[in-house]
C-alpha cells in the first residue's frame, strides 16, 4: 500500500514537472521552425516569379 502511494506521488511529480516545461518547449519548437517557414515562403515566391517570366 505504501509503495503504491509513493509511486503515485512520484508519477504525479514527474507529470506536473513535465507539464510546467511544455509551453516553453513548444515555444522553442516554433522558434526553430521560423527559418524553415521563411525559406519555404521565399522558395514559393521564387517559383512564382519563374513561372511569370516564361512565355506560355
Question: String of b and e for 37-53 (b: at least 16 CB within 10 Å)?
Answer: eeeeeeeeeeeeeeeee
As a whole number of angstroms, the distance between CA 47 and CA 22 comes to 37
Q: What is the pLDDT of residues 19-43, one digit of tens each?
A: 999 999 999 999 999 999 999 999 9
- The DSSP symbol for 54 reads S
Does residue 52 or residue 43 have the better pLDDT? 43
**Which secondary-structure segment (H or E) carries 5?**
helix 2-53
As a whole number of angstroms, the distance between CA 3 and CA 23 comes to 32
Amino acid at each position: 500500500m505504501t509503495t503504491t502511494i509513493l509511486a503515485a506521488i512520484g508519477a504525479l511529480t514527474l507529470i506536473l514537472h513535465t507539464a510546467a516545461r511544455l509551453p516553453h518547449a513548444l515555444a522553442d519548437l516554433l522558434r526553430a521552425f521560423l527559418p524553415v517557414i521563411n525559406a519555404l515562403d521565399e522558395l514559393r515566391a521564387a517559383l512564382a516569379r519563374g513561372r511569370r517570366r516564361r512565355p506560355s
